[in-house]
Amino acid sequence: MEASEQPAAAATAAAARRVSLPSGDDDSARHAILRQEQGAHGVYRGGSSLFMLDEPRIRVPPPVLSPSIVNICRAYSSGLPHVTEMLDDDDEEDADYELEEEEDEDEEDEEEVNEDEVEGLQMGDVDMGSFSEPGRNFLSKVWKEYEPICVDGVVVAAECKHCARNICAEWKHGSSSLRKNSKRCIERKKALRVADQLNASIMTPDGVALGPWTFNQAVSRKELKRMIVLHELPFSLVEYDGFRRFVSSLNPRFKMICRKIVHSDCLKAFMEEKQCLQGLFKNSKSKISLTMDLWTSNRMVGYICIIAHFIDDQWQPQKRIVKFTAIESPHTGVVMFNTMVKFIREWNIEDKLFALTLDNASNNGAMMKLLKIHLLTKNMLFCGGRLFRQCCAAHVINLICQAGLDYLSPMISKIRETVKYIRSSPARKEKFEEIVSHLGISCEKNPCLNVCTRWNSTYIMLATEKEFRLVFDSLAIHFA
């Protein structure tokens, strides 16, 4: 071939190669062919890649090229055989690789579903709120840790409940992104560590490990209210610094309330229980018997307490305190009668009364006469009211015992005065304890006084003073 014909032939070959260039998004083959036109030792800048080719070697500087591009360039440097076929082979390999990845992800999904024991779950088994996406089942338990973000009724993302991060959650992406974020989420790891520590270290009194637990502010407030009512604690307990620090050490998330809120919660609970008990009395088929007692506190305030006794539907005896309030003075029969009538109407139990038990005080007798007449006029009493009044058995027994103790009154009075003498001065009490220690007397009880309305208190006083008989003799010599 002549020299003049060589440029034309080269141009024709280049044009032919351009026509046969493969089409598609990957321009690697195009770049390799155009590079071949620049010469074996030239430099070609194509796209964002830089090729430096030496015959027959390839030097690929960073960034590293994909295996398909390297293979194409190596093939062109050695003779350019069937570039299109090589690209097709690479596409098939990439497709196979992607298919294998998808199969692996599907297997991971199946494994996770099996591990979580959620095989065959319906959408309602996973808490997705009120949302539902047609044609999509949220089988994975991972959704329990995410809130779905919807656009036009379709889930497009999910917000992590631990770190509030938004993760792509479209149908075509599956749940692998959510699982990956759950594995990386630092806040979730902290929560799991705390849960593991609780499950591993906290045991019930029976020696059983506690299960999963979720903090609930409302439940904690309810238990606080119950504790205050059950143990008759002051409302100001919640304002004690020591109590606040103690609760904070148990759970810092609990928001402590003030005494006014505790007072309001207790009153609200009282009204709820009262309504519940009124409904129970209304629907009960049994009669109701009442017991009543009246006393005066050390602050000279009179109180009345009424307890209802009844048989429930399971034939079990039940009792409830239905009235505990201050009563105005004087505590006459008329005042007590008005209090009882108001109580009976408030609870709507006029037609359910069977008997009323109280002691033998004169004001109680006057009140019973007025109340019996009031109920008989409405025909509300069983057997014409012959069984309505019942005497307090404990009061009757106390009267019998006190009558018998009158014969021992001189001895009991001396013992009582001796105890009062010891307890009336700190010096005498210290001397008494010193003698007890010297004689080696081991008695957990201290000298006590009896109460005239409780016969058993007289017995306890005599039994206790018997243990300190030698101490009393020593005190008599010391103070003689």
Q: For 163-191, what is each residue's pLDDT tens digit?
A: 888 888 777 777 788 888 888 888 888 77
Q: Which is more confidently placed, 464 or 80?
A: 464
Segments of 80-162 assigned E as strands: 146-151, 154-160
- 289 to each of 310, 313, 363, 389, how far by Cα in Å? 7, 16, 20, 10
Average pLDDT, the chain: 74
- CA pair distance 247, 215, nearest whole angstrom: 13
pLDDT at 98 over 80: no
Which residues partner with 295 through β-bridges?
303
Query: Six-digit token pair at 28?
Result: 């690697």
Segments of 39-136 assigned E as strands: 43-46, 49-53, 58-59
Per residue in 383-436, pLDDT (tens digit) is 878 888 888 888 888 889 888 888 888 888 888 888 888 888 888 888 888 888
- 127 to each of 124, 146, 167, how far by Cα in Å? 7, 9, 18
- What CATH number has the domain spanning 284-391? 3.30.420
Per residue in 148-159, pLDDT (tens digit) is 888 877 888 888
Per residue in 238-296, pLDDT (tens digit) is 999 999 999 999 888 899 999 999 999 999 999 999 999 999 998 888 899 999 988 88
Other CB atoms within a 10 A radius of the CB of residue 4 amount to 7
- CA pair distance 76, 70, nearest whole angstrom: 10
pLDDT band at 104 (very low <50, low <70, confident <90, very high): very low
Give the lowest-confidence range in 28-42, 162-176, 330-344. Answer: 28-42
Per residue in 53-90, pLDDT (tens digit) is 444 444 444 444 444 444 444 444 444 444 434 444 44
pLDDT at 10 over 90: no
Contact 358, 292 (CB under 8 A): yes
**What value does the mean pLDDT take over residues 311-335?**
89
Residue 275 exposure: Cα atoms within 13 Å on the Cβ side: 5
pLDDT at 199 (0 to 100): 58
Burial of 427 (0-12, 13-18, 19+ CB in 10 A): exposed
Could you check whether the bond before residue 61 is cis, i.e. omega within 30 degrees of 0? no
Query: Six-digit token pair at 218?
Result: 């409302």
Residue 79 DSSP label: T
- C-alpha angle with apex 195: 189 to 199, nearest 5 degrees? 145
pLDDT at 271 (0 to 100): 92
Q: Can you give the three-state secondary structure of 345-395, one letter per residue?
A: HHHCCHHHEEEEEECCCHHHHHHHHHHHHHHHCCCCCHHHHCCCEEECHHH
Contact 361, 395 (CB under 8 A): no
Give the lowest-confidence range in 1-5, 6-10, 85-89, 388-392. Answer: 85-89
Q: Lay out the sheet containing 49-53: strands in order across.
A: 43-46, 49-53, 58-59
> Taking Cα atoms as reference points, which of 289, 217, 212, 224 lies closest to residue 263?
224
- CA pair distance 24, 141, nearest whole angstrom: 41
> What's the chain's length in residues?
480
pLDDT at 137 (0 to 100): 62
- CA pair distance 27, 77, nearest whole angstrom: 17
What phi and psi values does residue 146 have, to the nearest 5 degrees? -135, 150
Q: Lay out the sheet containing 146-151: strands in order across.
A: 146-151, 154-160, 166-168
The share of the chain scoring above pLDDT 90, in percent, equals 19
> Taking Cα atoms as reference points, which of 369, 366, 381, 398 lies closest to residue 289?
381
Domain ranges of the chain: 5-90, 119-206, 217-266, 284-391, 405-478
**Gyration radius of the chain over CA positions:** 47
Q: What is the pTM of this model?
A: 0.51
Could you check whether the bond before residue 81 is cis, i.e. omega within 30 degrees of 0? no
